[in-house]
């Protein structure tokens, strides 16, 4: 074995460790960059009857209304969440959600049941969920069955 091969065997493990650490820092930096991702309803949404799931890749959000509370349940922990009730004139009212017991569950008191409590009523909602620099947004209609 010549001296170049021997040097390569000695240096290679150090280069591998340095490369692994550099890749980890790069991935962490990419995850912190601000990005906007659109959430899409899986099927027709019915928030009143707890049948509304929004999805973007592996991330899913369940939106439902129960006991005068509009709740958002997500598959990943959220940093913050806001739901908007949008009237027929496209004017929106923001309702910042508060964390319930864990960063997976967020809720706020809304008057959504009065707006769409009866069967066949439809209403436009918007949702913004923030996770580590990423904003997941959605505009969808809920139709009470």
Same structural domain for residues 81 and 51? yes
Euclidean distance between CA atoms 27 and 33, whole angstroms: 10
Number of domains in the chain: 2
Euclidean distance between CA atoms 78 and 71, whole angstroms: 13
Residue 71's nearest CA partner among 47, 44, 87, 94 is: 47
- pLDDT at site 98: 94
106 close to 71: Cβ distance less than 8 angstroms = yes
Same structural domain for residues 99 and 137? yes
Torsion, Cα 5 6 12 14, to 10 degrees, reads -160
Same structural domain for residues 63 and 90? yes
Domain that holds residue 92: 35-143
- pLDDT at site 69: 92
Q: pTM of the entire structure? A: 0.76
Same structural domain for residues 58 and 111? yes
Same structural domain for residues 10 and 39? no
Same structural domain for residues 87 and 135? yes
Question: pLDDT in tens for each of the 145 residues of the chain?
Answer: 788 898 988 999 999 999 999 999 898 887 777 889 999 999 889 999 899 999 999 999 999 999 889 999 999 999 999 999 998 899 999 999 999 889 999 999 998 888 887 788 889 999 999 988 789 999 999 998 8
Q: Across-strand partners of 40?
A: 55
Phi and psi at 63, nearest 5°, equal -115, 125
């Amino acid at each position: 074995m010549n001296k170049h091969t021997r040097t390569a065997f000695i240096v290679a493990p150090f280069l591998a460790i340095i490369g692994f650490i550099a890749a980890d820092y790069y991935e962490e930096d990419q995850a912190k960059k601000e990005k906007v991702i659109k959430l899409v309803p899986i099927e027709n949404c019915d928030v009143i009857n707890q049948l509304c799931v929004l999805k973007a890749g592996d991330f899913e959000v369940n939106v439902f209304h129960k006991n005068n509370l509009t709740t958002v349940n997500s598959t990943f922990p959220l940093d913050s969440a806001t739901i908007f009730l949008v009237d027929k004139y496209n004017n929106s009212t923001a309702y910042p959600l508060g964390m319930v017991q864990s960063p997976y569950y967020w809720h706020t008191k809304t008057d959504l049941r009065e707006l769409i409590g009866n069967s066949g009523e439809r209403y436009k909602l918007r949702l913004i969920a923030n996770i580590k620099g990423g904003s997941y947004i959605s505009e969808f209609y809920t139709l009470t069955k």
